[in-house]
Amino acid sequence: MKKYIYLILVAIALAACHKGEDIQPTYYDCQFNFTDSSGWNTHNTLYQSLIDDMTANGVVGVTMSVYQPNTGLWVGASGKADLHNDVDMKPCNISRVGSTVKMFTATTVLKLMEEGKLDLDDKISSYLEGDVIDKIENADQATIRQLLQHSSGIYNYIQNLQFQTASLNDFIKEWQPEELLEYAYNKKAYFEPGEDVRYSNTGYIMLGMLIEKIEGKPFYQVFEEKIFQALGLNMTRFAAKDHIPFGIARGYIDMYSNLQVVESTYYSGWDYFTADGGLISNPYDMNIFFRALMSGQIIQPSTLEMMLTWQTPDETDPNFFPISYGLGIFKIETPQGIAYMHSGDAIGYYANMMFFPDDSTTVVYAVNSNYGKIDQFVSTKEAMEKVIAATKQ
């Protein structure tokens, strides 16, 4: 009897189950526009075993780039880009890199400052109006600098449980900026502007709106013109134009913390149109960007100095490295020294980029799976320590 009940349950489950999308392996073909010498890199085995270890623990796929002045650039991959079609991940494969876009947003705002189009100490309310200012506490007082540094105190809409459940309720919804901001309306600010620092996606949505207001075009078009094209980041784009670009690695989520994953490639519609997420790239392009930024190729050294002006939160997180907030960038104190970094999540994706100023070691890794048990292998302090220990000599 028990067996029959079980068979009926399984039959119902199977009958109502979406099958995976059949995709030709050539869909994931990609290539770099440089001569890849990773195979001859002194640390090739070490780096490869680092990412192989991630996939051996349950991460679906990983791409990574490591730059060191002495050994040059290494790129590698491990695991799968697509489980349904059994396609291996390649080092050039693109994936969603979520909030790492905030460093691009901040860089663009700083470039606008260099062009004399804004002052960092201008209030955001000098540029934006309506509900975004009237209904978000502190928005009338916060400056552009405070939004960049997460010191505005403005409530982070992602923390709103109503948003989180609404997002689950409609996984494939494509959210517009105003719909997301509504989850921050009439919410108490964390503190007075400038008093402390606390991460807020809401502030970065507003910064995207600021870029659009000043430039009169979508902020992601400004990213393209001022950063992507300028640096030749051929594999980098923003999700707004093409939500699921050709060749993107499939994303997977471990929703129930049991290493049983389902595909989530189409589930990140909340960051298609806002400057707090939505970037699609690969670790090669991101490594190029981070090094160019830190070497003064995108913004002037004096502007970079502003970007790297730090504020430390009043409360420390015992589960993470000691951290300070810059303008769209963080400084962490690791056992191997100071690193500048930004990480980012999307649904089924995670990426992290780190730059060590003492020797310019630059490490970027991206994975196409997250949540549940997978997070401990990619985004925790322990996971990052493992990456840093293997890559920072």
Partner 1 sequence: MYRILFILFIFPLTLFGQENSIPISVSFFNESTAIPFTRFFTAPVHPGIQIGTAFVYSEKEHSRLFQTVNASYFYHNYLAQGIALHSEFGYEYRHSSGLAPSALLGLGYMHTFATTEEFTFKNGRYEKKTDRGNSRLFPSISFDIGYYLKRDDVRSPKIFIRYQSWAEYPYSPGFIPVMTHINLHLGLQFSI
Site residues, partner 1 (CB under 8 A): 9-10, 12-14, 16-20, 56, 58, 60, 80, 83-84, 161-162, 165-166, 168-172, 252, 255-263, 267, 371-373, 375
Find the shortest distance in angstroms from Cβ 159 to partner 1: 13
CA 87 – CA 329 distance, rounded (Å): 34
Q: How far is the CB of 253 from partner 1 (least distance, A)?
A: 10
Sequence-ordered list of residues with C-beta below 8 angstroms from that of 171, at least 6 positions apart, any chain: 264, 266, 267, 269, 347
Nearest to 364 by CA among 305, 279, 298: 279
Two structure tokens written together for 82: 């697509």
Q: Which is nearer to partner 1, 43 or 135 (CB)?
A: 135
Which residue in this structure is represented by tokens 């449980």?
161
Nearer to partner 1, 267 or 272 (CB): 267
Q: In the numeric block, which tokens belong to residue 360?
A: 């310019």
Exposure string over 143-161, b if 16+ CB within 10 A, otherwise e: bbbbbbbbbbbbbbbbbbe
Q: What sign does the dihedral 322-281-45-34 (CA atoms) show?
A: negative
Residue 26 has which token pair? 């050539």
Q: Is 298 helix (H, G, I), strand (E, B) or coil?
A: coil
Q: What backbone phi and psi angles, to 5 degrees, belong to 68? A: -135, 140
Which C-beta is closer to partner 1: that of 329 or that of 347?
A: 347
Count of C-beta atoms within a 10 Å radius of residue 172? 9
Closest separation in Å from C-beta 228 to partner 1:
31
Q: In this complex, which beta carbon is closest to partner 1, that of residue 123 or of residue 173?
A: 173
Write down the least CB distance from residue 62 to partner 1, Å.
14
Q: Which is nearer to partner 1, 59 or 112 (CB)?
A: 59
Q: How far is the CB of 390 from partner 1 (least distance, A)?
A: 20
Shortest spacing between CB 372 and partner 1, in angstroms = 5
CB 248, min distance to partner 1, A: 17
Single-letter amino acid, residue 153: G
Please list the residues that pair with 123 across neighbouring strands.
143
If the CB atoms of residues 61 and 153 are measured against partner 1, the closer one turns out to be 61
Cβ closer to partner 1: 125 or 176? 176
Nearer to partner 1, 151 or 156 (CB): 156
Taking a C-beta distance cutoff of 8 angstroms, is the pair 172, 272 a contact?
Answer: no
Query: Beta strand pairing status for 369-370 and 252-253?
Result: parallel
User: 3-class DSSP state for residue 100?
Assistant: coil
CB atoms inside a 10 Å sphere around CB 277: 27
Residue pair 217/118 in contact (Cβ under 8 Å)? The answer is no
Least spacing, CB of residue 183 vs partner 1, in Å: 11
Q: How far is the CB of 52 from partner 1 (least distance, A)?
A: 10
Shortest spacing between CB 373 and partner 1, in angstroms = 8
Alpha carbon distance 329, 104 (integer Å): 10
Closer residue to partner 1, CB minimum distance, 332 or 374: 374
Q: In terms of CB distance, is 12 or 230 closer to partner 1?
A: 12
CB of 210 closer than 8 Å to CB of 127 = yes
Token pair, residue 40, equals: 């001859």
CA nearest 289: which of 349, 214, 226? 226
